[in-house]
Structure 1
């Protein structure tokens, strides 16, 4: 038999296509262009002489050949990843700890599943979340009180490494009968006579203030705070004010018709999240795996994410 053209990247491409449900999202997950991904698949189909999936179906429907290769991928890729982790453990020479400080209140929606997946792969690494709100999470890294900080902005002046996670849309949230639901999108002036409901954080940590209101010289008529997302949405639903939150944090409430969402600005308002750590932590063999797991699990499970 001639030498196989099948490579690990092909197996990863097939599993990404299955897990994301589209060529566009699979390409983003793998950090490839859609053209490069399509070329990989076409190469395999030409080699085997039959299609691997139905291109007109959404999500893709895999042929018998495609399903057989997926079966191979599901068996081989975990074994390879496990072997690579074992080699990294030998190089590391012992257990470690990963304490995480989070800047945002909604991070737990995607962080906890990522931690669970990481814990299964690296059981010897002690995982913990640094409790409480911390206005300067980078300081905790430099004081050796945490290994990783989840932050919304990169600061070139800080002596830390940044690992990009994802970008997401932030929506304005309104009561279903709010007059502003008649607008296709909200602008800064629409917030001027409203009560803005937020988490209890400084203005400079709020994307709606930092990116929209402050540049326009506008402050909301009143600001009301709460620690809990569900309490914030209850206040919105009862007409006590408007809020702005990531789309993925409120998708379930929108699908149930509990509240109404509108974009902020004609082009929408986006936020970003990054993982910050010291150079010493970046050098740990498990850190890259934690970044990868966090990116992939979040991208697959949360709506509207764009990997950075």
Structure 2
């Protein structure tokens, strides 16, 4: 009798990718995203192995991928195309989430805030050169900036856009609306785009100080200046005093004595009849200028005195 033979059957299970595509600025799912699959890492051209389209929930599934490296190309009308690398391992089901960024004007500046679950509500604040504060209770200044997305239950993203940049300095800061725990526990991060190009990133782990405000950066023209400090406010106070007879005029849109961090204030000393301006003094009494016009950068609380002498 012939010897029986035992045959071992080996079944190779391919990789499945379950993906979801959302809008980076508001986390909403994107329907009808075209997903092209190419073999290899960072492969942006050449043979497409498979094409899939996302459903109404932004979801897609790729079946029967053999083990190896792949590049997923994601594109949709009104969004920037992005590429993601994936590693397929035999028998693995991969759950992945990807984001696309809406196309905006090349001159626009968009900032996107995200954070973890430890703090439920962080608020994005942007103060314009005219000292108008764009935030959840004033979402558009009607001239240059708009809060696109406000999130009150954790994580973000919160997005704000300078759509018509004006001359002067803008201040970008984050407020811990929840109050506790400390804002630094949020591990908040910010991406800054000019047009469709990422130009800067900030993370609260690099910031020093305590308080409810994370004052992140200022932007004036093409220049971004990092502040990256935590404090009780995003403003400093300016007190003006007069010795002799005259007045001090402030070239500012502010109706109070508080100015956002990093903003520039111009003071002009105007003597009364029979008097003339002599000099400026700081809080210590030190002379800081003799010109009747004085420009100050608000990097701390300040007290300035205009000294007038009789003719």
- TM value normalised by structure 1: 0.22
Structure with higher RCO (Cα < 8 A, 6+ apart)? 1
Which structure has the highest strand share of the two?
2
